[in-house]
A and B are shown apart, each in its own frame.
Chain A
Amino acid sequence: MTEVGRPRKRKEDARLLTGRTQWTDNLRQPGMLHVAFLRSPMAHARITRVDVSGARGLPGVVAAFGGQDLAGEQGSLPCAWPVTEDVIIPDHPPMAVSEVRYVGEAVACVVATDRYLAADALEAIEVDYEPLPAVIDLAEALAEGSPKVHEEGNKAYSMKITTGDIDAAFQDAPVVIDRTYVQQRLIGAAMEPRAVVATTDGDSFTLWSSTQIPHVLRVMLALTTGIPEHKLRVIAPDVGGGFGTKLQVTAEEVLCLLLTRRLGKPIKWNESRSEGNLTVHQGRGQIQHIRLAAEADGRIRGLQVDLLADMGAYLVLLTPGIPLLGATMFNAIYKMDAYEFGCTGVFTTKMPTDAYRGAGRPEATFGIERIMDELAAELNVDPLEVRRRNWIKHEEFPYTTISGLTYDSGNYEAATEKALSLFGYDKLRAEQSDRRDRGDPVQLGIGVSTFTEMCGLAPSKLLGAARFAAGGWEHGSVRMLPTGKVEVITGTSPHGQGHVTAWSQIVADALGVPFEDVAVVHGDTAISHKGLDTYGSRSLVVGGVAVLQACEKVREKARRLAAHALECSPEDLDFAEGAFTVRGTDSRRTIQELAFAAFTAHDLPDGVEPSLDSDATFDPDNYSFPHGTHLCAAEVDTETGLVKIRSYVAVDDIGKVVNPMIVEGQVHGGIAQGIAQALFEEAVYDAEGNLLTSTLADYLVPSAADLPDFTTDRTETPATSNPLGAKGVGEAGTIASTPAVVNAIVDALRPYGVQDITMPCTPERIWRAVEGARP
Chain B
Amino acid sequence: MIPAQFGYTRPGSLAEACQELAADEEAKVLAGGQSLLPLLRMRLAYPTKLVDVGRLPELAGVHDRGDHVFIGAMATHDEVLRSGVVNADCPLVALATATVADPAVRHRGTFGGSLAHADPAGDVPAVVLALDGVLVARSADGERDIPAAEFFVDYLESSLRQGEILVGVKIPKLGAGWGFHYEKFQRTAQAWAIVGVAAAVRRSNGAIQESRIALTNMAPTPVRAHATETALAGMDLGGEVRQACAEAAADTSPPGDLHAQPDYRRHLARVLTHRAVRKAAGSV
Contact = CB atoms under 8 A, between A and B. Distances in A.
Interface string A505-548: 00000000000000000000000000000000000000000000
A683 to B, nearest CB: 11
Contacts of A768: 264
Interface in A650-700: 680, 684, 692-693, 695, 697-698, 700
A322 B52 CA distance: 51
Contacts of B15: none
B88 to A, nearest CB: 28
Nearest to B195: A640
Interface string B86-99: 00000000000000
A724 B156 CA distance: 61
B192 A680 contact: no
Given A640-B268, A692-B258, A702 B188 contact: yes
Nearest to B260: A764
B82 to A, nearest CB: 20
A705 B190 contact: yes
B36 interface: no
B271 interface: yes
B261 A120 contact: no
Contacts, number: 59
B178 interface: no
Interface residues of A, number: 31
A569 interface: no
B264 A767 contact: yes
Contacts of B259: 762, 764
A117 to B, nearest CB: 9
A680 B185 contact: no
Contact of B188 (A115, A692, A693, A703): A703
A706 interface: yes
Interface in B251-273: 258-261, 264, 267-268, 271-272
Interface residues on B, range: 20 to 34
A193 to B, nearest CB: 11
Contacts of B5: 116, 120
B189 interface: yes
Contacts of B161: none
A639 B271 contact: yes
Interface string A51-70: 00000000000000000000
A2 interface: no
Given A697-B192, A764-B259, A115 B187 contact: no
Given A700-B188, A763-B187, A768-B264, A693 B1 contact: no
B42 A640 contact: no
B176 interface: no
Contacts of A274: 1, 42
B268 A700 contact: no
Given A274-B1, A698-B258, A706 B189 contact: yes
A550 B192 CA distance: 54
Interface in A81-119: 115-116, 119
B191 interface: yes
A751 B29 CA distance: 55
Contacts of A767: 264, 267
Contacts of B190: 703, 705
Given A120-B5, A640-B271, A764-B259, A680 B264 contact: no
A422 interface: no
**A-B CB proximity, top 7 nearest:** A705-B189, A119-B2, A272-B1, A706-B188, A764-B264, A700-B188, A639-B271
Given A680-B187, A701-B188, A767-B267, 18 more contacts: A36-B2, A120-B5, A273-B1, A640-B268, A642-B185, A693-B258, A695-B42, A697-B192, A700-B191, A703-B188, A705-B102, A705-B188, A706-B188, A762-B187, A762-B259, A764-B264, A767-B264, A768-B264
24 contacts: A119-B2, A274-B42, A639-B271, A640-B185, A640-B268, A642-B185, A684-B258, A697-B191, A700-B187, A700-B188, A702-B188, A703-B188, A705-B189, A705-B190, A706-B188, A762-B187, A762-B259, A763-B185, A763-B187, A763-B194, A763-B260, A764-B261, A764-B264, A767-B267
Interface of A: 36, 115-116, 119-120, 123, 272-275, 639-640, 642, 680, 684, 692-693, 695, 697-698, 700-703, 705-706, 762-764, 767-768
